[in-house]
Structure 1
């Protein structure tokens, strides 16, 4: 039996996995959605990058989980990738779900085209938080109006330090048994940067989903099957 620890991206909490969890549990596996510090029901809890890493490690240890499949969506790939190397033989696999990946000594914002200047300015203007984004941002991502409304209603401002503080890795990402899920409704995108190299070198497996960036809402059943397949590798 696998134990899926599910971590959603920026502004989201454990609630984002509500439509995925039943499919994983029906298949006989453990499913443990996690809200990171400072978000959703944990809003107000101070958080930096390493706080989020420790949130994940603590959850695995608190529940005494084995055969862990860590799933990191979007931003959450950064803390998930760091937590993966800290849970030792409890780890079975990592699934990076249309996500960023950690780079030692570099923050999440460093991968942005402007080096994160615009994001850092927005965080400074909003008392240390990256504010919610407009509804229009979700257009073109295979989401219904109802799904978009649900995401926007559940989103909370994101603690800025988690985005601007550097990741800490002890080993190369190639040491992780990992699957990268690329969400691409047009079928035209390719993985970039280090992910592309890890896939090309055969270290990581690439899986494509023909949906937008939030498949836990747009295609929960299909996403559950992708995760189940990854756990079986």
Structure 2
């Protein structure tokens, strides 16, 4: 068996912790798995952090560890830095796996992907605070609607405001020159558009796994299997 190098990128508000259950299973299968926390989401100052900084961080991690044949696995918003990194170092990337993630289009930001009213609210929030916070009600109704309240509260306590520029910045180019797959949580309610729309941008059919948007936490066995 050829050992794969998985670099795992979280979505908005999350850190490396959200990938740890999946990462453990990938390691148990004989692969290397490195979960990242993006700049501005690790207790550091989120003001002024840009999407380019996130892309740089992913690229720097790959080159610092001299990783090759990398599987970049991205959750949710993480599709942006994953795509940007794959465009920067395609010779090191074996595949990009989008897990209930946005597949970016050129010049289109995360805020642009949202429904108009929500997008306007997000932009106003960023203008006022520089970040995009998350509230407990959204965790209950959108992210973990089927989980018990103690689980919802535990996850909520781990979430942090997301740097505003991560939602406002876009990539100039997004056409991947490497293989890609799309893994979709069957009951995801949090994606800006249906997962099938994002999968179609890659020209692939989605691989379905159980659970909602937080399937990395609730169904790590199935997600890991879909990534192997």
TM-score over 0.5 (shorter chain): yes
The 3-state SS of whatever aligns with 1:47 is: coil
C-alpha displacement of 1:215: 0.9
2:162 equivalent to 1:158: yes
C-alpha displacement of 1:190: 5.7
* Residue of structure 2 equivalent to 1:227: 227
User: Aligned partners of 2:7, 2:227: CA distance in 1, in Å?
Assistant: 11
| Superposition map of 1:1-233 within 5 A | 1-44=3-46, 46-114=48-116, 116-125=119-128, 127-139=129-141, 141-169=145-173, 172-173=175-176, 175-185=177-187, 191-193=195-197, 195-199=199-203, 204-228=204-228
Q: TM-score, normalised by structure 2?
A: 0.87
**2:210 touches 2:222 (CA, 8 Å); kept in 1?**
no
Number of equivalenced pairs? 219
C-alpha displacement of 1:185: 2.8
C-alpha displacement of 1:102: 1.6
C-alpha displacement of 1:42: 4.1
Unmatched tracts of structure 2, length 5 or more: none
User: Aligned partners of 2:150, 2:27: CA distance in 1, in Å?
Assistant: 25
**1:178 touches 1:205 (CA, 8 Å); kept in 2?**
no
Q: Out of 63-72 and 137-146, give the one that drifted further.
A: 137-146
User: Aligned partners of 2:196, 2:225: CA distance in 1, in Å?
Assistant: 24
C-alpha displacement of 1:225: 1.1
**1:141 touches 1:214 (CA, 8 Å); kept in 2?**
no
Report Cα offsets for 1:189-218 as digits up to 9, x if no partner. 96444532533xxxx342011210111111
Report Cα offsets for 1:207-233 as digits up to 9, x if no partner. 0112101111111121111111xxxxx
C-alpha displacement of 1:150: 2.5
Q: TM-score, normalised by structure 1?
A: 0.85
The 3-state SS of whatever aligns with 1:96 is: strand
Say what the alpha-carbon RMSD is for the aligned residues. 2.2
